[in-house]
A and B are shown apart, each in its own frame.
Chain A
């Protein structure tokens, strides 16, 4: 006898296969292993938050996802296509379907704010200048920067650059958005605005997002799935994965320390090992 299955999947999309599939990705720089067998899926429409302490390989992982770095081994599939062995031409056709917000913003300093946002539109299609102009205004309005079109990136603040970079990443209405620390350098109100924007885009328009952050408020606000990367002995491994509730109640002490922001714990206060006095004074100690 089987009882009728309760419908546990609240959202059903036409395409059930995950948008991003990462399998056993390993990357080492010299003899330092940064990523050590990372595997996860990001289903369509989800917001995946990648957390972890400094130096845990969050940004490196993101660089692998966007095709800037190639893993030593393992497989990465975007939109169902394997990107690890792809040539530049193939990568370019995939890259047109996603937007990336870099940690530093990475705006072109020689162009104005408006030209920066217009760049992907002008490069990837023959669009009338009037329409480009309209799109620039719409995208800047979204990030609260109307009227800043004619300034150079050097003339605006760090947080504003971040928002311009977000507007540029969204210029082509991508299906998928990667952001590296989208809220660092923003004030609390702007953080909330950017989070709200990400939420609206994912929940209302079905965009998928992968967000690297260590801002816990923001992470729990926007994330629908989360992974935490480990440091120290568990460098380059996923130590926890799940929904925000699962992560919040996860037993792992390192994760709990991270969420609560405590100075000492499983992640030691002093990261360097060995006798402190000996390191300070060398062998010549009394």
Chain B
């Protein structure tokens, strides 16, 4: 835990303080990580969000139709995606895709002396390896979340349009009416917090690998499990905050 807080401190130092004083992190590396964490995840995010939008609409329609309230399906889909399911699902996908990859990559580098070699070349590993991943994750997870929300809403539309005979215009209007800007913001705040947790937990687990290949495996598992736990707990806390305040 102490090491985790230290790592957070170092990241903030190299991100916010050091660029003004001496060496800055490389922008090109941020771009490379943005591609790996964000752009490459688009197909998977799209598929997952679409299925969830679809499922939500079907489940909702099933219940709401009995009460004659099928027209509220768009509200259900939009609000639950924006506030809750969108941020959480995308975070889970990113943990599986990128959190694990970051831990495994850094862990392997640690084992093969690459991180030590960087240090000896007076290239700070936190500046060189961690900060670009941190920045990329903090930018890309909220963007992926917005993207996923849209695709999910499209998923809901397919059910409403083809199964419930709802007009496309009506679907869009109802969605816009139901979803407040606050819903979007609360989802985005969540996803920013999730991004922070995922990337710091993944980096810490990777940097602490000690015993060869087995250590890399254990660290990757730990990174995924801890990230999942952390975002689920953070989700509950944040939802509580938004609910009460």
List the B residue with the shortest CB-CB distance to A68: B116
Which residues between 72 and 109 of chain A lie within 8 Å of chain B, taking CB atoms? 88, 91-93, 95-96, 100, 102-104, 106-109
- Contacting residues, chain B, for A204 (C-beta < 8 A): none
Which residues between 99 and 117 of chain B lie within 8 Å of chain A, taking CB atoms? 105, 108-109, 112-114, 116-117
List the A residue with the shortest CB-CB distance to B116: A68
B interface residues, tally (CB under 8 Å): 17
Is B5 in contact with chain A by the CB < 8 A criterion? Answer: no
Chain A interface: which of B45-53, B120-128, B183-191? B120-128
**Is there contact, CB below 8 Å, between A123 and B121?**
yes
A interface residues, tally (CB under 8 Å): 23
**Is there contact, CB below 8 Å, between A68 and B119?**
yes
Is A120 in contact with chain B by the CB < 8 A criterion? Answer: yes
Is A66 in contact with chain B by the CB < 8 A criterion? Answer: yes
* Interchain nearest-CB distance for B21 vs A (Å): 10
**Is there contact, CB below 8 Å, between B120 and A109?**
no
- Contacting residues, chain A, for B113 (C-beta < 8 A): 102-104, 106
* CB contacts between A and B, total, < 8 Å: 50
Is A273 in contact with chain B by the CB < 8 A criterion? Answer: no
Is A124 in contact with chain B by the CB < 8 A criterion? Answer: yes
List the B residue with the shortest CB-CB distance to A93: B122
Query: A98-129, CB under 8 A of B: which get 1 and which 0?
Result: 00101110111110000000011001100000
**Is there contact, CB below 8 Å, between B122 and A106?**
no
Is B65 in contact with chain A by the CB < 8 A criterion? Answer: no
**Is there contact, CB below 8 Å, between B117 and A124?**
no
* Interchain nearest-CB distance for B212 vs A (Å): 13
**Is there contact, CB below 8 Å, between B123 and A106?**
no
- Contacting residues, chain B, for A182 (C-beta < 8 A): none
- Contacting residues, chain A, for B180 (C-beta < 8 A): none
Distance A123 CA – B23 CA, assembled complex (angstroms): 8
Is A71 in contact with chain B by the CB < 8 A criterion? Answer: no
List the A residue with the shortest CB-CB distance to B108: A109
**Is there contact, CB below 8 Å, between B122 and A107?**
no
Besides A104-B112, A119-B123, 6 more A-B contacts (Cβ < 8 Å) are: A92-B124, A104-B113, A108-B109, A109-B114, A123-B23, A123-B122
22 contacts between A and B (CB under 8 A): A68-B116, A68-B120, A88-B124, A95-B120, A95-B122, A96-B122, A100-B117, A102-B116, A102-B117, A103-B113, A104-B112, A106-B112, A106-B117, A108-B117, A108-B118, A109-B109, A109-B112, A109-B114, A119-B123, A120-B123, A123-B121, A123-B122
